Amino acid sequence: MDISKINSKILGSIPANVWKYISVFILSVVILTISFNIFQDMYTAIFLEPVSKLSFYILKFSGLPVEFDGSALPFGICDLVLPHQILRINFGCTGLFVLFIFIAGVIAFPADIRHKLKGLAFGIPAFAVYSVLRLVIMGFVGNWLPEYLEIIHNYLMVLINIAFVLWLYTTWIKYASGKDQK
C-alpha cells in the first residue's frame, strides 16, 4: 500500500463532526488573530493594560519596590521596573494568544449557545485572573531570584499556561456536556 492510500484511509475515517470542529476551531483562531492585528489598541486597553497594571498594584501592595512604565503601551508593551530587573510585558506574557485558543475551542465545541456564552463569561475572567497571578509570580521571581527568571519564564510558565488552559477547557466541556451535573 502506498502512502497516499494510507493517508486517504486515515483521513477518510475521521468523522464529519470532527472535521467540523477542526474547521471551526481553525477559522476562529484565524478570525481572532486578524482581529488582534486590526484592533491591537483595543486589546491593549481591555487586556494588556488592565492585567499589567493590576499585577503592578498587587506587587506594589505586597511591598516589592516596583514601578510601572506604560509609555510603550501604544506599541503593545509595558514594563514593570524592579531595582535590578525590568520585566517587559507584551501580549504573549499576558497569555492573550493562549486565551484565543480557549475561546476558539469553546466556539468550535458542539454545545448549546447558552453553554458557550457561560463558558466565555467564566473562562475569560478566570484567564485574566490567572494572567495577573502569572505576572505577579514573575515579579517575585524577578525581584528575589532574577537568575532563574529566564528559565522559569521560558519553560515553567509555558507548561503552566498549557496546563491551565487545558484544565479550563476540559472543566467547561464537562459542564457543557452535562458530565459534571449530578
pLDDT tens digits for range 130-179: 999 999 999 999 999 999 999 999 999 999 999 999 999 999 999 998 86
d(CA 52, CA 55): 5
pLDDT of the residue at 77? 97
Quote the domain boundaries for residue 100: 3-176
Residue 72 is assigned to a structural domain of this protein: yes
Residue 166 is assigned to a structural domain of this protein: yes
Beta bridge partners of 13: none
Residue 182 is assigned to a structural domain of this protein: no
pLDDT of 12 > 80? The answer is no
pLDDT of 11 > 80? The answer is no
Residue 46 is assigned to a structural domain of this protein: yes
pLDDT of 9 > 90? The answer is no
> What is the Rg, in whole angstroms, of the alpha carbon atoms belonging to the chain?
20
pLDDT band, very low/low/confident/very high, at 128 (cuts 50, 70, 90): very high
**Cell numbers at residue 169, please?**
477547557
d(CA 143, CA 96): 24
Residue 181 is assigned to a structural domain of this protein: no
What average pLDDT does the chain have?
Answer: 92
pLDDT of the residue at 14? 78
d(CA 158, CA 94): 12
Other C-beta atoms closer than 10 Å to the C-beta of 168 total: 22
Burial class of residue 114, CB neighbours in 10 A (0-12, 13-18, 19+): exposed
Name the domain count of the chain. 1
First to last CA, the chain: 49
Residue 34 is assigned to a structural domain of this protein: yes
Residue 36 is assigned to a structural domain of this protein: yes
pLDDT of the residue at 15? 85
